[in-house]
Amino acid sequence: MTVKRRSGVFVALVALAFVLATASVGAAAMGKVDKFTFHGIREDVLGPGESVQKDGKPDAVFSASISGTAGAVTGFQLASADGKSVWDTTSGNNVPGIQVKNSDGSVLTESSGSMSMTPFLLAMGVTLTVSDDGSIAKGGKFTLTARFIDNSTSSATIDVAATATTAPTTDGGQSKVQFLSADWVKQNRDLTGKNERLRGDGTADTSARIVLQGTGTIRAISVKSVKGEAAEWDTIPNNGKWLVAATHSGKVLNNADGSLGIEIQGKVTLDLFMSDNGAIKNGKSQFEVTVTFDDNTTAKRVIGAAQGVATDMAIASAQWVQQNRDLTGGNERLRGDGNADSSARIVVQGSNTISAIALKSVKGEAAEWDTIPSNGLWLLGVTQAGKVLNSQDGSVEIPVKDKITLDLWMTDNGAIRNGKSQFEVTVSFTDGSSVTKAVSSAGDESEDSGTAVLIGEYNKDIVGASESRSGNGKKDWAIDLDLTSAGTITEMQLVNVAGPAGEWDTVPGNGRWLMGITDVNGKVLNSSNGSISIPIGKRTQYRLFVENNGSLGDSLTKSRLTISFDDGRKQVMDVSSDAARGTTPDRGTQGSSDKEVALSGPRKASSSDYVGPNERVAKNGKTDWLFNVSFKGKGKVETITLESIDENGVWDTIPNNGYWLTGVVAPGRGLLNNKRTGAVLFEVPRYSNLQLFVEDDGTIAQGSRYFRVTVEWDDGTVSTATN
């Protein structure tokens, strides 16, 4: 093929030389523009101006044929009838460029370059792509002019039909795709930084939830301040604006460069994540979301609720129940498969309209079901008093007035039956709000029990002698809480009922010193004002932190913990004080006593680079930090979490939770034990001594010395140790 093409060029050049030698002044143009055709607004190839970088917007595509005995084209110009929109193949003249390809798809010139002489013999076909400034989508007459080597020109004009439609209004007016809602929501995920990269920066993003309904392909999303402080984020690569990350059911939808190409059908909920420049947190600005589709239409909506405003809806209870009905199979169809479904019963309180329900595993084996059509997740059937509420496509729209009891039906993939996983149900509403609750076993609601053990001074400082959620440079005292209950914890109070006085709680504005609450991974669960709202579905461990007023080390002190729930229940327990009152940095293994873990480090690795500042298994050219961890016992390790005790750094092997990856390596082998997702699953004692590699997020550089490792085993045992 290469030889044939060179031969054709040679013949064309010979013919061209003859034509030029015999041409006379005043002769007709060297060639003619034929078959000028508009092919529509298609995929994104170019950016505005002369940029060759994609901008997230579809481009306009034309084609034409140049005919003549022999000649050479030196350039093209495309112009609207009014001359206000012009594109050409001359670089550096402040006119937007044209990408030109020949009939076999080879690029003759990019939009950033100038077209060189291109000979033709009898005819040549070209495809021209331009970045639409909006005029092409609006339609009208457009003229293509070809310039030849003898400075003659030929033009052709066509009528381009309008392809743009009226964009929907900010209140969700009539459109092919309706913008139902946009609201700030509180989540804990880190996908972006203060740049255009799809990469976390160690700080949880701000997030908004949008709900769209219709059919189309999303090409770009932007969030922009329309009132107050300036701020803007989008999904368009290389334009200098910080990135908006978009997810659906937790799955990141952005391409590697941040761009989007999301096909939607029916009602779709998307979560948007962005790094706040302060404008959102300050609360003095108003923001608008703009969604751009591949047909050049846009849907806009102002983000309605202030960040952190809670919905008045609630899931009062969520329990597994034993029933015998077959509504679903291992797919999205509302059709049984001959096997009885698993089922859960939920009670939803408030007044709103349910737009979707999802049930997913949050710990253990992966599993997820929902009522959203065509998203690949198995169907969640919904009934009320035996009546099926799903539409034929599986979707739901259920009015709630005061209270409603719903039964949920799903085909088990094994995760429910195996009993090693924890599940949450999320109910979403048409106003964009949602509520989530852990699913408990039947009977757990009335089974309240627990223990609280004082473990003494601890290597962490998250509270002080005030109501503020901030340390004061002194080590806190800690209480380990093991709780079996169900509901949502709304308040905790610790009171000395004997000995020296002392009182701590999570209630803002009452003058009592704050009690800090963390989960087993060290995540602080108090909100910024100290209050708590902690859903709990089964046995769970927490760690409570208080500033010692001098009473907690006294042998005469007897303390009592009161836990309040959202349904009015109160659970009261005495705090055991028979643990050592010295520094107790580690409670060791929780669960099976034959499994232990030990941790040492950190130290700078000599040259190893296994991980970077994200969740991916990928090097970044920087030397990692190294910890040594050893195991005793027998079993399979499922997850490893490494956290700073005196700072905020967290690394783990759990995919898609926003924390940077912990690389797990067997000494001497030099190979990562992590799977491509970052997850691990290995046997002990086969792997009894391992090395953990992390990318410093600033925690180590800031002088953090105390670290904790938490290991989850396949039998549910949790082992912890500190360095």
Tens digit of each residue's pLDDT (9 = 90 or more) over 248-296: 877 889 988 889 888 888 888 898 999 999 888 887 888 999 998 887 8
DSSP code for 552 = T
* Residue 307 domain-assigned (yes or no): no
Q: Give the rounded distance of the alpha carbon of 517 from its chain centre.
A: 26
Distance CA 183, CA 504 (A): 35
Which domain does 392 fall in, by range? 314-442
Q: Could you tell me which residue, 137 or 346, shows the higher pLDDT?
A: 346
> Is 545 found in the same domain as 431?
no
Closest CA to 133 of 56, 47, 201, 192: 47
The domain boundary residue, chosen from 246, 268, 302? 302
Distance CA 227, CA 209 (A): 20
Number of domains within the chain: 5
> Is 155 found in the same domain as 91?
yes
Instruction: Give yes or no for residue 522 having a pLDDT over 60.
Output: yes
**pLDDT tens profile 426-443:** 988 776 677 888 887 643
* Residue 172 domain-assigned (yes or no): no
pLDDT at residue 510 in the model: 83
Question: What is the rounded average pLDDT of the residues 217-246?
Answer: 90
**pLDDT tens profile 666-706:** 887 778 899 988 999 999 888 888 999 999 887 787 677 77
Q: What long-range pairs does 97-100 form, CB within 8 A, spacing at least 24?
A: 97/46, 97/49, 97/50, 97/130, 98/128, 98/129, 98/130, 99/45, 99/46, 99/52, 99/128, 99/129, 99/130, 100/76, 100/126, 100/127, 100/128
Distance CA 244, CA 211 (A): 16
Q: Mean pLDDT across the chain, nearest whole number?
A: 82
Q: How far is CA 629 from CA 228, 364, 623, in A?
A: 50, 23, 19
* Residue 584 domain-assigned (yes or no): no
**pLDDT tens profile 630-661:** 998 899 999 999 988 766 678 999 988 778 89
Instruction: Give yes or no for residue 39 having a pLDDT over 60.
Output: yes
Instruction: Give yes or no for residue 168 having a pLDDT over 60.
Output: no
The answer to whether 184 touches 303, Cβ cutoff 8 Å, is yes
**Residue 487 forms beta bridges with which residues?**
536
DSSP character string of 665-701: E-TTT--B-S-TTS---EEETTT-EEEEEE---STTT
> Is 621 found in the same domain as 542?
no
Distance CA 541, CA 521 (A): 10
> Is 642 found in the same domain as 548?
no
> Is 363 found in the same domain as 259?
no
* Residue 414 domain-assigned (yes or no): yes
CATH code, domain with 38: 2.60.40
Instruction: Give yes or no for residue 138 having a pLDDT over 80.
Output: yes
pLDDT at residue 7 in the model: 39
* Residue 258 domain-assigned (yes or no): yes
> Is 135 found in the same domain as 14?
yes
* Residue 186 domain-assigned (yes or no): yes
* Residue 123 domain-assigned (yes or no): yes
Distance CA 159, CA 416 (A): 61
pLDDT at residue 425 in the model: 92
* Residue 581 domain-assigned (yes or no): no
Angle at 422 between CA 419 and CA 426, to 5 degrees: 135
> Is 156 found in the same domain as 11?
yes
> Is 535 found in the same domain as 434?
no
For 385, residues 6+ apart whose C-beta sits below 8 A from its C-beta are: none
The domain boundary residue, chosen from 302, 328, 350? 302
pLDDT at residue 264 in the model: 86
> Is 361 found in the same domain as 281?
no
> Is 143 found in the same domain as 16?
yes
The domain boundary residue, chosen from 382, 417, 442? 442
Percent of the chain residues past pLDDT 90, beyond the cut: 25
> Is 485 found in the same domain as 629?
no
pLDDT at residue 59 in the model: 86
> Is 423 found in the same domain as 403?
yes
Tokens of 645: 């005790």
